[in-house]
Amino acid sequence: NAGVTQTPKFRVLKTGQSMTLLCAQDMNHEYMYWYRQDPGMGLRLIHYSVGEGTTAKGEVPDGYNVSRLKKQNFLLGLESAAPSQTSVYFCASGDEQFFGPGTRLTVL
C-alpha cells in the first residue's frame, strides 16, 4: 500500500498562474481533506469530501476549488495564485487522518 500520495512535491508559481495539486489514496477511504500549514498557525482545513462526487468548504476555502470525481483522488486547484497562498499543502484521508507527505508551494 502506498497510503496517501501527493504530486507535485514542490512548485513555484508566479502571481496569477493556475495549478492543480493531486492527492491519491489506496485505502478505500470515504473522507478526504486538504489542509494548509503555515508557521504558527497549525493546520487549517481548506476543503473536504465525504465521498465520491461530494465536496464541502472548510475554514479557509477562498481562492481554492476541489473535485472528487473518483473515490481515490482529491484534486485541489488554484485558479489565480496569490503570494498569500504560499504554504505547505497536506492531503489526508480516513477517520484517523492519514496524511500525505505534503506539497511545498511558493507563489512569487
Partner 1 sequence: GNSVTQMEGPVTLSEEAFLTINCTYTATGYPSLFWYVQYPGEGLQLLLKATKADDKGSNKGFEATYRKETTSFHLEKGSVQVSDSAVYFCALSAGGGYQKVTFGTGTKLQVIP
Binding site for partner 1 (CB under 8 A): 4, 31, 40-43, 45, 48, 50, 90, 92, 94-102
> Minimum distance between the CB of residue 85 and partner 1, rounded to whole angstroms?
19
What dihedral angle (degrees, nearest 10) is formed by the CA atoms of 45, 105, 88, 26?
70
Hunting for cell 464541502 — which residue is that?
Answer: 56
Q: Say which amino acid occupies 85.
A: Q
Q: Which is nearer to partner 1, 17 or 86 (CB)?
A: 86
> Minimum distance between the CB of residue 67 and partner 1, rounded to whole angstroms?
18
Q: CA–CA separation, 27 vs 56, rounded Å?
A: 21
Q: Which is nearer to partner 1, 17 or 98 (CB)?
A: 98
> Minimum distance between the CB of residue 99 and partner 1, rounded to whole angstroms?
3
DSSP 1-19: ---EEEE-SEEEE-TT--E
Q: Which is nearer to partner 1, 57 or 70 (CB)?
A: 57
Return the H-helix or E-strand segment holding 66: strand 64-67
> Minimum distance between the CB of residue 29 and partner 1, rounded to whole angstroms?
10
